[in-house]
Amino acid sequence: MASLDEICEQLVKSVNDALGAAVVDLSSGLLLAVAHNVPYFTQSYLDAVAAAAVDMFRGNTVSTVEDMLSTQRGTTVHKMIKEVQMTTEKTYHFMSIVPGKENSLLVLITGKKANLGMGWAALRGALPKVAPMCPS
Q: What is the mean pLDDT of residues 8-30?
A: 97
Segment 37-50, tens digit of pLDDT? 999 999 999 999 99
Q: Are 113 and 17 in contact (CB under 8 A)?
A: yes
Segment 114-132, tens digit of pLDDT? 999 999 999 999 999 999 9
Please identify, in words, the CATH class of the domain defined by 4-55+82-133: alpha beta
CA–CA distance from 105 to each of 26, 32, 39, 46, 76 (Å)? 7, 10, 23, 14, 22
pLDDT reported for residue 72? 86
For the chain, the structural domain boundaries read: 4-55+82-133
